Amino acid sequence: MTMIFTGSEPVKPEAPCLPPSPPLEFARFTLSEENMPELRKDPVIGRWVIISSERGKRPTDYKSEAAPRRNGGFCPFCPGHEDKTPPEVLSYRKDGSAPNTAGWDLRVVPNKFPALQIEGGLNRQGEGIFDRMNGIGAHEVIIETPLHDATLASLGEKDVENVLWSFHDRVLDLKKDRRFKYILLFKNHGEAAGASLEHTHSQLIALPILPKRVREEIDGCKTYFSFKERCIYCDIIKQETDAGVRVIAENWDFIAISPYAPRFPFEMWVLPKNHGASFESAQKHEYENLAKILKDLLVRMDRVLDSPPYNLIVQTSPFHELVADFYHWRIEIMPKLTKVAGFEWGTGFYINPTLPEEAATFMREVVL
C-alpha cells in the first residue's frame, strides 16, 4: 500500500513504522510486476542512472558484437616479433632468456602510439582564462601471454595472477615518478570495446592530473566517512553480502557484485573484502584469489553473453593523497552491450535496460 501525505493530513500516531527499506526480494518482485522505469543513485558519487526495466532485456536480447577473432595478419605482440615493439620495461621469463627476445610469459612495453609522452616537464601555463600543460604521462601495454589466440578468460589462473603482478610491479615503479598523480589500469577486449590488436593485452596510463571522476568518487567516500567514520565500500560489501540479491560470486578475499546503480547492463564490480585503498598494496593471497574470481567472472560472462567485447578497469587510489581510511579499490567490468549516445553525452546520465538484480541472477546461476 502506498500512503501519500499532504501538508493538511495529520500523521496518524498509530501508523506502523515502515522498515528502513523494503525486503529486496519484494522490491524486485514489485519492479518486475509493474515494469516501472526506475531512477537509482550511486551512493558514492551521486550519479543517477535510469534502469529502464520495461525494456526488460535478458542476456539473449543483446546482440553483442562478439569480439571477432581475426586469423592471419602480422602480430607485433607474438613471440619472435619483440623488435616490433619499443624495448620492454618488464618481462616474466622462467627460462632466463634475454630481454627483448622470445621466451617470455608476459611482457610490458611502452605503447608504440602513446596517448601521452614520458619525456619532458609539465610546463603548466595560463592562456587568459584557460589552463594548459604538456601531455606528459606513461602509456604502456601489458602483453598478457605469448599465445596469440588466448583470451584473459581462457588463461590459467596462474597466468591471470601474473597479469595482476605485472600491474603491481609497474604501479610501484611509476609511483616513484613525482610528476604522476594517478594511474589507470585497464583492458579493452574486442574491437567494439576499443582494442586495436586482438592478441590479448591490458594497458596502463599514468597521468599528471587526478581525473574528475576519481575526484568525485574520493569526495563521495570522504563525505560518507566524515559522517559515519566507516568506509562506504566496506558498508556496501556488508549490505550486499547480507541481502545476497546482487552477489555474483565470492571467495575468501573478494566479492563480485552487480552494483546497485550500474551504468551498463551486466556491469560488475569486484571488491576486496578486507579494506584497502590501493591495488598495489594487496597481499599475495589476495592476488591469488583475485585471479580466481576474475577468471570465474570472465568465463561466466562469456557463457551468459556469448563472449562479448568488454572493458575492465582497476579503480585504485591516487598516488599522493591520504585516502587510506575511506577509499576502497576495486575492479569494474563492463561488457559492451549498449551504445553511449546523445542522451548520455548530453546529461552524463545512463539508461540501463537490465535490472542489476536480474543480471546478477543470470551470472550467478549460469551452468559452467
For the record, the C-alpha cell of 238 comes out as 556488508
Kindly provide the b/e burial profile for residues 7-30, where b requires at least 16 CB atoms within 10 angstroms of the residue's own CB. eeeeeeeeeeeeeeeeebeeebee
Q: Which stretch binds Zn ion (CB under 5 A): 45-53, 148-156, 158-166, 251-259?
A: 148-156
Q: Across-strand partners of 268?
A: 333
Minimum Å gap between C-beta 269 and Zn ion is: 13
Give, to the nearest 10 degrees, the angle between helix 157-175 and helix 284-305: 120
Binding mask 203-242 for Zn ion (x = CB under 5 A): ----------------------------x-xx--------
Rounded to a whole number, what is the distance in angstroms from the first to the last CA of the chain? 41
In this complex, which beta carbon is closest to Zn ion, that of residue 248 or of residue 255?
Answer: 255
In this complex, which beta carbon is closest to Zn ion, that of residue 148 or of residue 222?
Answer: 148
Task: Decide: is 78 part of the binding site for Zn ion (CB under 5 A).
Answer: yes
What is the Cα–Cα distance from 316 to 325, expressed in whole angstroms? 13
Binding Zn ion (rule: CB under 5 A), the pick from 181, 215, 273, 275 is: 275
Q: Is 285 helix (H, G, I), strand (E, B) or coil?
A: helix
For the record, the C-alpha cell of 255 comes out as 566479492
Binding residues for Zn ion, rule CB under 5 A, total: 10
Binding Zn ion (rule: CB under 5 A), the pick from 57, 139, 189, 328 is: 328
Q: Is 320 a catalytic residue?
A: no
What is the Cα–Cα distance from 104 to 234, expressed in whole angstroms? 38
Q: Which stretch binds Zn ion (CB under 5 A): 135-143, 144-152, 166-174, 260-268?
A: 144-152
For the record, the C-alpha cell of 39 comes out as 531512477
What is the Cα–Cα distance from 225 to 136, expressed in whole angstroms? 33
Minimum Å gap between C-beta 328 and Zn ion is: 4
In this complex, which beta carbon is closest to Zn ion, that of residue 78 or of residue 116?
Answer: 78
Q: Which stretch binds Zn ion (CB under 5 A): 97-105, 141-149, 152-160, 293-301?
A: 141-149
List residues with catalytic annotation.
201
**Contact footprint for Zn ion (CB under 5 A):** 75, 77-78, 148, 199, 231, 233-234, 275, 328
